[in-house]
Structure 1
């Protein structure tokens, strides 16, 4: 592990970004350019002390999960992401289309959607990045352990005690399940050599009778635009248009939820922006 080079690289990458580049409010006037250390820590889900020690060349060796989070938070290109992994002595991910690395350009689009929920997911359901509005609507999925960030797994293995167990109206659950399985069937067929979607199918066929029954229907349908209803514990029910924007490789998808102007859902979405973002904004 090249501690000094890693520290220098992190400092330089942090200095070239401003709060607006990562979807944060600028706040009071800053004495130095770039993000603050605590802001990088917030974006990656690590403690400020942990990140500070990395920049001071005295921190522990980051895990692969932490490196991926740093690459995303600092908006690194693919080449820069690979360099970050090499500095720690790790082999970088080789499958660029299905890795957890989101292209900086796509993240910039996500950051600018400040008034509507949006998130980037893999085609088989792993949530890679969310803006603040998405976290306010469905919860901060990126803060969960890596194995708990897949929306298909969460849907079929949901428990009444889970924070998002009541996210959708009960009468809509059957349709959501059908769409999840039909999309996953298409992904597995399109990428037979990718072990991750196949492993998810095997896990859910064994653990969820509902999934297993739907899988046997052999329905195939790629996830596209639709209308979804959400049940939020604070603002109530929202009916939102769901737009699915595909990446060039179609392995990552930008999901954007909007409300028809002038509707009650639009008013509730604006209330969510005010109430939800207040709860997510750190003090100081």
Structure 2
């Protein structure tokens, strides 16, 4: 823990907040620039003595809950709050969950005309896709928005073309990845999805109770495509900055049967788009 850095950070941020910004009476003369220490402590729900010792650089190691409360009291941005959490060895706040895909990710999807690509959020909702993803997986636009979720597909038997063993392995990895986001139970949408899947699938419920943690960054997916046959795809998951979303790319090593099959899918996708 860097107590001296935390102390200096708190002092400068306290001086930055005007009383009027937090609904305090700003009439009369104030000798303190910004908020008083007792005002910060009161807004954060900690004792004045405890807060004073933090600003003095005492090695107290405040809890995550206290730091988040101080961040609210001092009107810190998420980046500033994460910086403060990092000073005491705490993990950063999860990026805000959103169904709106960043414009940069959409532009990237458009340029990836030779590879299937998807944008997923932390819940495994499919938010956006390119033409090659349609050639690989079918018309995603025809699927109701609520059902465009890969976890629902895996645990409801809708994951077409994936064998039982591969589906089970993929399901286990995805459940561990969902756990690792740290969004359960604080994120209501993640909590709702977990509750729903646990009721509908004994397999999901059993996997969730294992409390396994594992971040998906790369995996191999085997599937049987109705047109080009067996595929063995390398899946890469790339984080989209400042969001809970990731870009999933499907690739294959040059010279392999899957590589040739993807080229065939690209040609067929191009023909449909020009018709």
TM-score by length of 2: 0.62
Secondary structure at the aligned position of 1:206 is classed as: helix
Secondary structure at the aligned position of 1:222 is classed as: coil
Give the 3 Å change call, closer, same or farther, for CA 123–214 of structure 1 in structure 2: same
Q: Please name the residue that 1:50 is paired with.
A: none
Name which of 168, 178, 182 aligns with 2:172: 178
Q: Please name the residue that 1:257 is paired with.
A: 250
Q: By how many angstroms is 1:247 displaced? A: 1.2
In 1, are the aligned partners of 2:154 and 2:167 still within 8 Å (CA)? no
Please give the root-mean-square deviation of Cα atoms over the aligned residues, in Å.
Answer: 2.0
Q: Please name the residue that 2:140 is paired with.
A: 141
How many corresponding residue pairs?
182
Q: By how many angstroms is 1:277 displaced? A: 4.2
Secondary structure at the aligned position of 2:104 is classed as: helix
C-alpha distance in 1 between matches for 2:161 and 2:123: 20
Q: By how many angstroms is 1:166 displaced? A: 2.6
Secondary structure at the aligned position of 2:160 is classed as: coil
Q: By how many angstroms is 1:143 displaced? A: 3.2
> CA offsets, 1:196-255, max 9 Å, x none?
111000001111011111111111111111222121000011112111110113500000
C-alpha distance in 2 between matches for 1:206 and 1:191: 16
TM-score by length of 1: 0.60
Q: By how many angstroms is 1:178 displaced? A: 0.3
C-alpha distance in 1 between matches for 2:95 and 2:244: 9
Give the 3 Å change call, closer, same or farther, for CA 96–185 of structure 1 in structure 2: closer
Greater Cα shift, 145-154 or 190-199:
190-199
Give the 3 Å change call, closer, same or farther, for CA 96–123 of structure 1 in structure 2: closer
In 1, are the aligned partners of 2:183 and 2:190 still within 8 Å (CA)? no
The aligned runs of 1:71-220 (5 Å cut-off) are: 97-158=96-157, 162=158, 165-187=159-181, 189-190=182-183, 192-220=185-213
Q: By how many angstroms is 1:186 displaced? A: 1.8
Name which of 259, 264, 269 aligns with 1:271: 264
Q: Please name the residue that 1:35 is paired with.
A: none
C-alpha distance in 2 between matches for 1:178 and 1:271: 31
Q: By how many angstroms is 1:169 displaced? A: 2.6
Secondary structure at the aligned position of 1:239 is classed as: strand
Secondary structure at the aligned position of 1:221 is classed as: coil
In 1, are the aligned partners of 2:221 and 2:232 still within 8 Å (CA)? yes
Q: Please name the residue that 1:53 is paired with.
A: none
C-alpha distance in 2 between matches for 1:214 and 1:262: 37
C-alpha distance in 1 between matches for 2:139 and 2:119: 13
In 1, are the aligned partners of 2:98 and 2:243 still within 8 Å (CA)? no
- Runs (4+) of structure 1 exceeding 6 A deviation are none
Q: By how many angstroms is 1:263 displaced? A: 1.0
Secondary structure at the aligned position of 2:265 is classed as: helix
In 2, are the aligned partners of 1:138 and 1:167 still within 8 Å (CA)? no
Larger radius of gyration between Structure 1 and Structure 2: 2
Structure 1 residues not aligned, in runs of 5+: 1-94
